[in-house]
Amino acid sequence: MKNIIVRSLVMATTICLLSSCSTAQQPSGTTLPPTADKKILIVYLSRTNNTKAIAEFIHQKVGGTLVRLEVEKPYPENYEATVHQVARENETGFLPQLKTKIDGIEKYDVVFLGFPTWGMQLPPPMKSFLSQYSLKGKTVIPFNTNAGYGEGSSFQTVRKLCPESTVLEGFVTRGGSERDGQYLVIKEARARETQKEVEIWLRKIKIPLRETRKMPE
């Protein structure tokens, strides 16, 4: 009888320890929502200024530092030439040299990454950025504009290149279609609609928003 009681106590203690351990270790890819005292960086790549428009909407809502990503050697102005160049870069794994330099990236806690969909993938310049700068331990939040085909594998690639970051749910919206001669389309009524979508998304992923003061009537 005594042995049975001892074995029962040992089993109970073991279960308790295992339960405590599983509670203490949070699942990979989760973290507490960013709070208002976090330092925010918004990095975006934009060819037709639609991604730029989204980046500016986010900046208006959350503040932080806004940085446009540029390469040392700009892509061709001709759309077809750019498509072929990007296809070659994706095939070979080539990473273009960045003109943009970010000092003290370690001071930022939350990094928004904005980009269009190029060839249904993450654009090579953004791959260069994620290869050059470590976002270890940071909260990473992607946002994307595209010509109607979605984000492709871009968000998946962001997660792959940020294995030690917490990657939150991204934002996706339709931008222009350079192939069809549609450039900046996120403006006027479309801009107002998209601003509302951005705010809903930010609230959903629990990003604190800046207070907006109404102008006196």
- Which residues are CB-contacts of 44 (< 8 A; sequence separation ≥ 6)? 51, 52, 54, 55, 66, 67, 68, 69, 112, 113, 114, 115, 143
| Sequential pLDDT tens for the chain (217 residues) | 444 333 443 344 333 333 333 222 233 334 445 556 899 999 999 999 999 999 999 999 999 999 999 999 999 999 999 999 999 999 999 999 999 999 999 999 999 999 999 999 999 999 999 999 999 999 999 999 999 999 999 999 999 999 999 999 999 999 989 988 889 999 999 999 999 999 999 999 999 998 754 434 4
The total of structural domains in the chain comes to 1
Distance CA(78)–CA(98), nearest Å, equals 20
Dihedral sign, Cα of residue 94, residue 98, residue 101, residue 107: negative
- 179 domain-assigned: yes
Other C-beta atoms closer than 10 Å to the C-beta of 153 total 14
The domain of 144 spans: 34-204
212: phi then psi, degrees, rounded to nearest 5: -105, 120
- 210 domain-assigned: no
Other C-beta atoms closer than 10 Å to the C-beta of 56 total 19
What is the SS3 assignment for 173?
A: strand
By the 8 A CB rule, do 158 and 122 touch? yes
- 186 domain-assigned: yes
Regarding pTM above 0.75, the answer is yes
Paired strand residues for 171: 143
- 2 domain-assigned: no
- 4 domain-assigned: no
Q: Looking at residue 121, what DSSP letter applies?
A: B
- 217 domain-assigned: no
Give me the CATH number covering residue 187: 3.40.50.360
- 109 domain-assigned: yes
- 27 domain-assigned: no
